[in-house]
Amino acid sequence: MTPRATFLALSALIGASFARDVPQNVKDLYNSIKSQGQCSNVLQGGFYALEDGSNDFTYCGDRLESHGIIYEQGTGGALSDMDIDCDGVQGSPADDGRCGNSGDTQSVTSFSDTVRGYNKGVRDLDANIHPYVVFGNVGSNPGYTNFNPQDHGIEPLSLIAVVCGDQLVYGIWGDENGDDGPKAVIGEASISLATACFGKGITGNNGHEETDVLYIAFQGQDAVPGADGAKWDAANFEEFEASIESLGDSLASFRVIHDVKIGDVVVNDLTDAIAELRDAEGAYVEGVVQSRVYYL
C-alpha cells in the first residue's frame, strides 16, 4: 500500500469517531421542525432544493428569537438536501479524487480573505479538509432570489451544526450559493462534511437528494471560532473537526428559555418574572406563574 493510500485508509477509520449520536435536545428540535410541516416566520422564500423540484424552500426564523438559530425548511415536513461543494483549494494531499467529476468547481470560497487573514498559512478553505456549509444566496441575474444570513446575525465562518444520516456533524459557514445555475438553490456542503454524513459514495456530482438534512446556523460572535479557535491548517477533516468539537458541543447543548406568564404579562426570563412578583414597596406578592421550557 502506498503512503497516500495508507493515509486515506487511516483517515477513514479515524473518521468513525466523529459519527456523533444526535443529542436528545437536538433530536427534539429536529422532530419538532419536521412535525410543524413548514416555516411560519419566513426570512426569505422561493428557493429550490432540487433544480427540477418546487421553489417552496425557505430560510426559516421560527426559532430566531427563542433559540438564536436559522435553518432551511421546505413544506410537508421537508428540510433540506445536501449537494456537494468542492470549491476552494484544489489538489491538496487530502484530495482523494472524488471531486474530479464536479462540473462547477471554483478555486475560491466566499470568505477566503478572512481565512487568509488568520495568518495560519492557509489561503482558503479546502473542501476535502474543512467541513463547510454553503449558506445564503447571492447573485445579480434577473429574478434570482438573494438571502444574506448576516442580516440576521449569522457571522461568516461561524459554526453550523448539521443533523444528517442520524448523526450530528459540526461545520462552518464557508461559502454561499451563487447565480451560476438557472435557479436559486439551497442545501449544499463541502465533500468532507458530506462524506462524514453519508460515506465515501459521495462524489462531486453525487450528493444526498433526500430532504431530511437540518442545517442549524447560530447567531452571534460566540459562534465564530476565529483565528485561534480552529485548526485552519489541519491536514484532514478529522483534525479540523476535532478542533471545533468543543465549540459545537457548547452551542448544541441545552439552551433553556423560560417563557413565563403572570396573568396577561409574558416575560422571557425567570429573573424578570421574580421581579414582576414584587409590589411597588419591594415586597413579594402572590402570583400564578406558568412556565414553559424550550430546548436547544
End-to-end Cα, the chain, rounded Å: 45
User: What is the per-residue pLDDT across 31-67, written as a single tens digit (0 to 9) for each?
Assistant: 999 999 999 999 999 999 998 999 999 999 999 999 9
* Per-residue pLDDT at 137 exceeds 70: yes
Instruction: Cell 459519527: give the residue.
Output: 19
- Using alpha carbons only, what angle is made at residue 242 by residues 73 and 234, rounded to the nearest 5 degrees? 105
More confident residue, 16 or 110: 110
Q: What is the gyration radius of the CA atoms in the chain, in angstroms?
A: 21
Give the pLDDT mean for 104-115. 94
pLDDT tier for residue 101 given thresholds of 50, 70 and 90 = confident
pLDDT of 16 higher than 60: no
pLDDT(264) > 70: no
Q: In 3D, which of 223, 289, 213, 215 has the Cα closest to residue 255?
A: 223
Could you tell me the sign of the dihedral formed by the alpha carbons of 55, 60, 109, 253, in that order? negative
What pLDDT does residue 19 have?
64
Question: Comparing 25 with 103, which gets the higher pLDDT?
Answer: 25
Q: Answer yes or no: is pLDDT of 236 > 90.
A: yes
Give dist(CA 241, CA 248) in Å, integer. Answer: 10
User: What count of other Cβ atoms lies within 10 Å of the Cβ of residue 219?
Assistant: 17
Q: Are strands 265-267 and 257-262 parallel, antiparallel or unpaired?
A: antiparallel
Q: Is the dihedral of CA 230, 198, 128, 9 positive or negative?
A: positive
- CA 125 vs CA 140, 189, 234, 242, 263: distances in Å: 24, 12, 10, 16, 53
